[in-house]
Chains A and B, each alone.
Chain A
């Protein structure tokens, strides 16, 4: 299915501030360095892009992407990875349109990715809080926090509309 999609972010990098390096290493099952796997309980995210994307979604809750020093970043993965979940490409574009209120951003994939990265940085602290808050392991802490948050955001029956 992904082959039907054109990935406008092909050739771009997904980068995050260096201060999150340890967090990505800890909470993702694939470590960029050695590809070693760790347990789901302590490392809930299959890949780094999954953590980054969820951070972007959470960051969007605040409405504004974070300002951060783009030089003090490191690449977590090539943005071509987004082709594996093409809906994410649409979601990122929609996020950019929603934020800029300008549809022309669609033709600027670098800007779209920058906006998304800004939201990701904005959402990272919240995500790390969610992973660490609670008496259980990160996977259950995060699940419980998301469950609580979404029950507030999406009242029951909202989807059937």
Chain B
């Protein structure tokens, strides 16, 4: 099967979009170039919806709105939705003498539904598919379209044909239990290898066995045989019920395991952004430091204000006048007009205890006491000088110390201001830095949105408990099933022995033997196909994987081998057969390469001609690995449709030049003006398509350079 084109109408942002896919055998790559939030995942969902119906939508369609979010309800409350896919199927037709010829048939599949908007809610009618065989003379409607789809694209393999680059990792994700991963790998392999046919045959043979058992019971036989056949029937029924229960419990376990893994991831992502509680504490600490710095700045404001009332400022401004006044007074002193200079000097001498002549002024010493009394007399005499002289005398000495003050407090005002300025600048810088930190923390808290880690952890605990309960139930059921099977085996042996003893029973015993032989053949075939085909898938995956990551086991590569074990575990080995955990020991690019090689290997081994549609396969990749993954995917797929962002395309342009038969670009006009250069042609929010390839841009898709966007974002953050 190859996809020819797809058309979407009112499927979310895909209001009216048509995409053609390449069917050129030499250029089998189709590229849909689209940046984030540009409808890639939506288109992947729309394609699956068209082929498989509502069950293929996220969450099986429950709560998943399809109509455009900004649908104008005034226009109509009913939104017609449709997805149309044209595809072709090439099939060999046997000819004479064992020759075959290829026939090519083209089909058009149309799935439509209507969503009715009512207030804030909506409801969707059950979608209906219509399939047409396209012919030169018009399209012919076909009955039971699902049957044709199922033949060529089995629903079990939906995740193999339609791959989300991130979701593909689910085959090896560390968060999932080993059982879940095994089941996924096993289911994918079994579905792809067509083992469901053998499983169905097994069921059919078991039913036949039950019928024969019922025949044995219906014949007039001994009471023992009657009792045994009843018991066999009951046990078979119990086993069938247990198998159903086991299947349901396993599904429940897997679902809970996935939910738990999802919550783990959300907790991980939230913690990476920051724990809300821890961030709140950090914010509080930051605010406290800001308050302290604001207090310092207030104090500095006062200090700044004080600079304008400082003695230094007055002294520096008045210096010529002050010096002139001091010169006048110095002159008076020299002229002896300020005689009272003796008083302070005499006071000073009394305090020191030594006379100008060098003699002591100690009261205990007779000479000292005499000299002291003399000096005190001189002081008293001087006090009687006139008031002006007194004023001048006091003022002269006091003002001298003001004018010629040499203390630190009297440093030049320019220097005081300079020191103040440096101190203020330092505090302001700290304040600015803390302010920036606070804004960053607030932004991180805002980015957390409503993610409440505590609540998530609570849910995590609940899911873990439920998952563990489901796991215990699976174990109990497996045990009960084993016991029942053992019991059935013993019952059938005893029943068969009794049947042989009775003449009518011999024919039935023979039939039962034949049935059991057929069953054995089927079971052995199943095991053989599993083992052989599993090995083929494993070898193919290994070859592709090593090629993609450029690991040569002969050249001392770190990764030597990848395989799928008989238990359906995907294993990776390093040097000397050391086991590497794919989720922990491999980098992001290698993990994607491993899962993509598994998917491509499955498709290849099944010899099923079907498209591989992969969303963002080259995310987290660069350089050699990126190019080799792309080359290998192109080589191994019969039709490859890739949804790529510009950054994924970067460094792979020449490969696209060589292998891409069809490239289109999708643009989300809502990205104008932040990311798009030109305004959209219409105010309607819808994904726009243009025919620009990976090297072109037009008025619709021309984008601003990343650097320019980053600068604008930074600027906006500061504003």
Contact = CB atoms under 8 A, between A and B. Distances in A.
Interface of A: 29, 39-41, 44-47, 50-51, 53-54, 57-58, 60-61, 85, 87-88, 90-91, 93-95, 97-99, 101, 103-104, 106-107, 139, 142-143, 146-147, 149-151, 153-154, 158-159
B324 A98 contact: yes
A97 B308 contact: no
Contacts of B313: 54, 57, 146
Contacts of B324: 98
Contacts of B322: 91, 94-95, 98
Interface in B155-198: none
Of residues A40, A103, A139, A154, which shows the largest number of chain B Cβ atoms within 10 Å of its Cβ? A103
B391 interface: yes
A75 B413 CA distance: 29
Nearest to A159: B412
A99 B321 contact: yes
Nearest to B309: A50
A151 B328 contact: no
B133 to A, nearest CB: 81
Contact of A94 (B304, B311, B325): B325
A29 B558 CA distance: 75
A93 B311 CA distance: 14
Contact of B318 (A39, A57, A151): A57
Interface stretch (B13-21, B392-400, B431-439): B392-400
A103 B386 CA distance: 14
Given A60-B317, A93-B399, A46 B306 contact: yes
B395 A154 contact: no
A97 B388 CA distance: 14
Contacts of A51: 308
A147 B414 contact: yes
Nearest to B300: A40
Interface in B287-318: 301-302, 304-309, 311, 313-318
Interface of B: 301-302, 304-309, 311, 313-319, 321-322, 324-326, 328-329, 332, 387-388, 391-392, 395, 398-399, 402-403, 410-414, 417, 421
B391 A146 contact: no
A54 B308 CA distance: 7
Given A44-B304, A60-B321, A94-B322, A150 B328 contact: no
9 contacts: A46-B308, A53-B309, A57-B314, A91-B315, A107-B388, A143-B417, A147-B414, A150-B413, A153-B316
Contact of B388 (A61, A101, A106, A139): A106
Nearest to B302: A40
A8 B413 CA distance: 28
B325 A40 contact: no
Nearest to B410: A159
A90 B399 contact: yes
B308 A147 contact: no
A98 B411 contact: no
Given A97-B325, A103-B332, A40 B301 contact: yes
Contacts of A90: 395, 398-399, 402
A101 B328 contact: yes
A23 B309 CA distance: 17
Nearest to B394: A6
B21 to A, nearest CB: 64
A85 B222 CA distance: 129
Nearest to A46: B305
Given A103-B328, A106-B388, A60 B304 contact: no
Given A40-B302, A46-B305, A150 B412 contact: yes
A102 B412 CA distance: 28
A143 B304 contact: yes
A134 to B, nearest CB: 15
B399 A94 contact: yes
Given A139-B304, A143-B307, A159-B411, A107 B387 contact: yes
B314 A142 contact: no
A101 B308 CA distance: 28
Given A88-B314, A150-B316, A150-B412, A95 B321 contact: yes
Contacts of B395: 90, 93, 106
B301 A41 contact: yes
A95 B387 contact: no
A61 B304 contact: no
Given A60-B318, A159-B411, A29 B305 contact: yes
Contacts of B392: 103, 106
A74 B24 CA distance: 99
Contacts of A150: 316-317, 412-414
Contacts of B306: 46
A135 B412 CA distance: 26
Nearest to A102: B328
Contacts of B388: 104, 106-107
Q: Which 10 A-B pairs have the closest CB atoms?
A: A98-B325, A98-B321, A40-B301, A57-B317, A97-B325, A50-B309, A94-B325, A98-B324, A90-B399, A40-B305
Of residues B302, B318, B402, which shows the largest number of chain A Cβ atoms within 10 Å of its Cβ? B318
Given A54-B314, A98-B325, 19 more contacts: A39-B301, A40-B305, A46-B305, A50-B309, A54-B309, A54-B313, A57-B313, A57-B314, A85-B309, A91-B322, A95-B318, A97-B329, A98-B328, A101-B328, A106-B395, A107-B387, A143-B417, A146-B413, A149-B317
A147 B412 CA distance: 10
Nearest to A97: B325
A51 B305 CA distance: 11
Contacts of B329: 97, 103
B444 to A, nearest CB: 32
A161 to B, nearest CB: 10
B167 to A, nearest CB: 59
A139 to B, nearest CB: 6
A146 B309 CA distance: 13
Contacts of B304: 40, 44, 139, 143
A142 B413 CA distance: 13
A94 B321 contact: yes
Contacts of A85: 309, 311
A147 B326 CA distance: 26
A159 B322 CA distance: 14
A52 to B, nearest CB: 11
Of residues A53, A58, A87, A139, which shows the largest number of chain B Cβ atoms within 10 Å of its Cβ? A87
Given A99-B321, A150-B316, A106 B391 contact: yes
Contact of B316 (A97, A103, A154): A154
Contacts of A46: 302, 305-306, 308-309
A154 B673 CA distance: 58
A58 B317 contact: yes
B428 to A, nearest CB: 12
Nearest to A106: B391
A54 B318 CA distance: 10
Nearest to B388: A107
Contact of B325 (A41, A95, A153, A159): A95
Of residues B322, B326, B332, B410, which shows the largest number of chain A Cβ atoms within 10 Å of its Cβ? B322
Of residues B311, B325, B329, which shows the largest number of chain A Cβ atoms within 10 Å of its Cβ? B325
A92 to B, nearest CB: 10
Contact of A50 (B308, B319, B398, B399): B308
B318 to A, nearest CB: 5
Contact of A154 (B309, B414, B421): B414
Of residues B304, B308, B329, B417, which shows the largest number of chain A Cβ atoms within 10 Å of its Cβ? B308
Nearest to B317: A57
A151 B301 CA distance: 23
B412 A154 contact: yes
A139 B424 CA distance: 13
Contacts of A54: 308-309, 313-314, 317
